[in-house]
Each structure stands twice: as structure tokens, then as C-alpha cells.
Structure 1
Amino acid sequence: MKRLYPDIGCYASGYLQTQDDIALYYELSGNPEGIPVLYIHGGPGAGLSPDYRRFFDGNRYRIIAFEQRGCGRSKPFGSTTNNTTQDTLSDITALRRHLGIERWILFGGSWGATLALLSAIEAPQTVLGLILRGVFLARQEDRDWFLGPDGGGAQLFPEYYEQFVAGIAAPVTPARICQWYQQQFDLPNEAQRLSALKRWYVWEERLSRLSLPPGTGDFTTHYPLPLVTCLAKLECHYLLNDCFLAENYILDNIHKISHLPGTIVHGRYDVICKARAAWQLHKAWQASNLFIVADAGHTTSEIGVALKLCRATRDMSRYVGETS
């Protein structure tokens, strides 16, 4: 009788201790003998959502997920010390070796898509394929799109943008926004600090979907403080430091993974990560397929995006099975 591996819950979890005393939380789900796939969450700072496994067939996949430095259950919580892009890429390598995996599929959305691309570029021989959602290439133009006065959010939601940048001296730029918020996050006054954290978090929430559910992006809505703190602090930290990457690094090095199969899913009306970035990536990446979802924004909670991702994991599992 065929054994079934449900795609809910995990069969193992633990902590991976790094050489610089970071404890990274990770968990394993699905079929222990299945195709290894690493789920890389976004943010920076978002942590693992409770339903991230829904994109995978638990019979076909060995689902691996971890919470990045400073995120969720990893320790220390909310810390920006020793927290750079290269640190996270080293963590991905350490996790792969710890689990004894030679090659795996990389699945990431938003900042997770950035990390998936960087990890593949760094070690293409360890990658079977990539599935990406809401591509963020971490260039100046991508940061401008999210935070700048001429970006997608500022142009489509000017009243929200005015609230987001209130108190920041002109001229308002992404760098000045990040500098101001980082100063607010370090204030000794708890009320001011928490207000700034929520302002950053609410800005992203308001941009996240084409159609917001009631209460989403509302300052009166209660959001879990750990999530608000982690996302705001780490996202600001990375954007302030240009994501610790040289300008246009991904497209300049995409030839290193031109042979790897990839699926890119992007919402047409994504005002956090611009659709043009997904198009540019697809044009430069020979073995990629691009699916623009017509009635979607940034998140996986939008049904068109979720459906394309489920189909992508199904098709990738078939492709890997045929070529292995």
C-alpha cells in the first residue's frame, strides 16, 4: 500500500548552531525520501507563515524551511548584528550540508526569491531548479519602487505614502527614509519606537494585495508585535545597506544559472516588487518561464498567484523525476 505523507505539520524540527553563535530554527515536512526543496521566506524579517507548505505535494517533496537570522524562532530575535546577505547565504549552505543534501530545489518569494537566485548563482551545482514569486532584484530602482516618492506605492497610494514619510526632511529618498526609521527604532521611548515599527509594517501591508481584506493596513488593527518588530527592523536594516549587494549583481551573474530550469510567478499589479524586474530576469535567464498573474499584487494569499505556484511545484517535481 502506498504510504501517504500529508503536507501539513512537520516530522522534525530543530536548531542549527552557526559558527558565530546564531541558532537557526528549521523544520522538515512531507516525504523524507522525496525531492528536497528549500522554502525561503521573504522580508527580510517575515519568518515562516503557518501555511507555507500548501504549495507542495507532501508525497513528492521533502520540504525544508528555516527562519533567517533574527526572524521568528531563530535566536537572537530581531538582531541585526552579523545579519547580512552573505551571512544568510552561508546559513543556507550550512543547512544543506547539515541535512546531507547534495542538490535541491529553491523556492522563494520576494526577498526569498532574491536569496534563492543568489544561492543558485553562488553554487549552481547544488540546485535542481528554482521557483520564484514576486521577484526582487535588490537594485536601486527596485528599492525606489518600494520606498521612493516616484515609486509604485507612492504614486498609487499618495495618502498612505504621506503618512509613511511624515517627519522625514526633504528631499525624501529611500536612504533618508531608512535612516530616519532606524533612528526611530532605536529610541528609548517605547511608545515612539512601537509607533515607528507599526508605521513601517502598515506601509507594506497596504501595498501587499490588489484587494485588501477589511482591517488590513489599518493602524487600529492589532498585529503581532514580534512580526511587526522583526519585519520592520530587518527590512529597514537591509534596505539601508543596499541589501549588501553590488548594484545589478543578480542580472550581471545570471549566466551562471542559465542552464537551470526556473519558474517565475509575478502579480501584474505588484507595487512592492515591480513586474518589470520579473520580465528583465526572464529575458536574461534562458531556461526560465514567466507567468504574470493578471489580477494579483504581491502576496501568495491571492488565488491566482497561489494556483500558479502549486502548478509550478507539480511541474518541477515531474521534470526532476524525468531527468534524475
Structure 2
Amino acid sequence: MSERRSLYPPIEPFRTGRLRVSDLHEIAWAESGNPAGKPVVVLHGGPGGGSSPFLRQGHDPARYRVVTFDQRGCGLSTPHAELEGNTTWDLVADIERLREHLGIDRWQVVGGSWGSTLALAYAVTHAERVTEMVLRGLFTIRKAEIDWFYQHGASMIFPDRWQEYIAPIPEAERGDLVAAFYRRLTGNDPEVRRAAARAWSVWEGATLSLLPVPEREAAFGEDEFADAMARIECHYFVNRGFFPRDGWLIDEARKLSHLPVTMIHGRYDVVTPLDTALLLKQAMPDAQLLIIPDAGHWGMEPGIQDAMVRTTDAYAGLG
């Protein structure tokens, strides 16, 4: 077996900017790598997570023009943690606005976790603009997926961390934890909102990878990050991703069978279990599914890094 590869070295953007996408929202974007390279848009997770520097490192900077942006309400986009005018379809429209703004005809679409959801939603509505897709930690906001991580399932694997997660919610309200958190995250008491946001966000930060990463967990607990992450995630989950019905995105993925698609998923992904990737593989039989035997959900795990750079290198000459 060949030695595992790491992501490409850290890189700074060669251009940044802001784009007004509605009367309320403005998004921050960045371009990295080669201005004349193959275009790719990399979609961050959450929703509400904001772009991380490592998202610029999954592609060869000599061969790719890498576009990243902070989705509505998070990262450097404004207004912060705003829920109004913040839906999946608003974000899909933002991707198209950004593509046009940057003068790109077609591009590779890459997304991890919620980014994979958004990538699929974009592709099923704008397939003609997609050269290929690379999806990591597959997630489609089905009720079963939400229930697993936020109601019962992952709770049995991380029972100690689960107790910290549910602590802000009185026992009488724990029959629907997402709804209980939503009431607090959208309420008027700033202390209640802060405590709920931190519990929600740290639960995710503590369970992302096969092995613990204390620095990441601490970052997920910081007030500003946690507020956007928890409020926006919960908003999307209460509204089931703003999709017409449960399972809609998997059904629609059948339309993408003509596109080159690679899916990368950790065997021990507790946040978004492998089941979803297998269902998407059934919907897109020609897609490649890479199951990483010693990884969880995090895009920085060694096996996932290796699969990402090998996949994007292979796609560098296409489209």
C-alpha cells in the first residue's frame, strides 16, 4: 500500500471580496491557487460553520483556481448568525451569483458534511455548471440522520459528552431536543442562548473525529462561532433542509448519474453515518464511494486527506 498523502501546504488567497446577495445579506469570498487553473468551489459545513483554511488545501494550487466563501450568517459574511433569508435555496442562488460574478462557466463542486448537502442541491438544479463532484461525509438532512445525532443513537457512543449536550434542556422537553434547542437559540435571553449554542456546538466538535482533538473542541465552544453554528444548523434542521419531503435529495441525485462523482466517507463517522453514502451510491451507481477504514467525520483525518488529494489530482485534467 502506498504511503498516505497529506493535504497540500497552507495557502493564502490571491484575491478576496464581498458580494451583496440580498437586501440583508453579504457574503465574503476568496480565490486561491492558480488564477488560470481549473475552477473549483469548495463548500463548507455546518450549516453555519464558515470556511476553514484547510478547505483551500485539498487541491493542487498549481492546477486549480480554488473558490471558497462563507455562507449566509457565518464566518466573515454579514449579518452574523442571521436566520432571515437563510435557506438552502438562498445558498444555491448565492453559488450561482458568485460563479457569474467571478466569470466562471463551469466548475468542480466539492463539499464536506453539510457542504455535501449543498453541493448536491446545487448540482440537481444547475447540473450544466458542474464538471464533477467530490463529496465528503455525506449528509442529506433526512429525519433519520437528524434523529441519530441529535436525539438518540450517537448518544450511546458518546454518553459522557451527551450529558453535556442535553444539560441546558429540562428533562420534560427532551422528547424533541432539536425543537427545545431552537426555542432557546431563537429566544430573547442572551445567557440562555449562549449556553444552548455552546452545548450544541461543542457536542459536534467533540464527536467529529475518530480520536479527540481538544483544540478543535475549544474552537467550537467559542461564543461567536457557536452562536452562528448552533442557530443556523438548528434553523435548517427544524425546517428539514427546506426540501419538499424527507429523502428528496437522495431521490433527486439520480439526475446526476452522468456526472463524475467521488464520495469519501469515514467508516466510523458518528456525525453522519455511512448509511447515507450507501443510499446515495444506490441513487448514483456510477459514482465512486471511498470508505476510509480508520476515520470519522473530520476532513483533516489522515485517510480522508489522502483520498481528497488523490481524487482532486485525478480530476485536475477533466472538464
State whether TM-score is above 0.5: yes
Asked if structure 2 preserves the Cα contact closer than 8 Å seen for 1:39 and 1:64, the reply is: yes
SS in 1 for 2:31: strand
Q: What's the counterpart of residue 195 of structure 2?
A: 195
Q: What's the counterpart of residue 238 of structure 1?
A: 236
How far apart are 1:217 and its partner, in Å?
4.3
How far apart are 1:214 and its partner, in Å?
4.2
Unpaired stretches in structure 1, ≥5 consecutive residues: 1-5
Asked if structure 2 preserves the Cα contact closer than 8 Å seen for 1:130 and 1:262, the reply is: yes
Q: What's the counterpart of residue 165 of structure 1?
A: 166
Determine the C-alpha separation between the residues in 2 that align with 1:300 and 1:280. Answer: 21
Q: 207, 224, 227: which is aligned to 2:225?
A: 227
How far apart are 1:188 and its partner, in Å?
4.1
Unpaired stretches in structure 2, ≥5 consecutive residues: 1-8
Q: What's the counterpart of residue 177 of structure 1?
A: 177
How far apart are 1:294 and its partner, in Å?
0.7
Alignment of 1:1-324 (within 5 A): 8-149=11-152, 151=153, 153-166=154-167, 167-170=169-172, 172-173=174-175, 176-214=176-214, 217=217, 223-245=221-243, 246-318=245-317, 320=318, 324=319
Asked if structure 2 preserves the Cα contact closer than 8 Å seen for 1:46 and 1:71, the reply is: yes
TM-aligned CA distance change 1:99 to 1:264, over 3 Å: same
Determine the C-alpha separation between the residues in 2 that align with 1:269 and 1:71. Answer: 28
Determine the C-alpha separation between the residues in 2 that align with 1:45 and 1:197. Answer: 12
TM-aligned CA distance change 1:120 to 1:192, over 3 Å: same
The amino acid that maps onto 1:178 is: V
Residue by residue, what CA displacement relative to the aligned partner does 1:117-152 show, whole Å, maximum 9, x if unpaired? Answer: 111111111100000100001111111121122x2x
TM-aligned CA distance change 1:284 to 1:74, over 3 Å: same
Determine the C-alpha separation between the residues in 1 that align with 2:109 and 2:137. Answer: 14
Asked if structure 1 preserves the Cα contact closer than 8 Å seen for 2:173 and 2:180, the reply is: no
TM-aligned CA distance change 1:261 to 1:158, over 3 Å: same
Asked if structure 1 preserves the Cα contact closer than 8 Å seen for 2:25 and 2:78, the reply is: yes
Determine the C-alpha separation between the residues in 2 that align with 1:239 and 1:128. Answer: 29
How far apart are 1:171 and its partner, in Å?
7.2
How far apart are 1:165 and its partner, in Å?
2.2
How far apart are 1:101 and its partner, in Å?
1.3
Determine the C-alpha separation between the residues in 2 that align with 1:215 and 1:127. Answer: 35
Q: What's the counterpart of residue 5 of structure 2?
A: none
Q: Kindly tell me the number of residue pairs found equivalent between the two proteins.
A: 310
* TM-score calculated relative to the size of structure 1: 0.90
How far apart are 1:187 and its partner, in Å?
4.3
Determine the C-alpha separation between the residues in 2 that align with 1:289 and 1:317. Answer: 16
The amino acid that maps onto 1:77 is: H
The amino acid that maps onto 2:18 is: Y
TM-aligned CA distance change 1:168 to 1:243, over 3 Å: farther
* TM-score calculated relative to the size of structure 2: 0.92
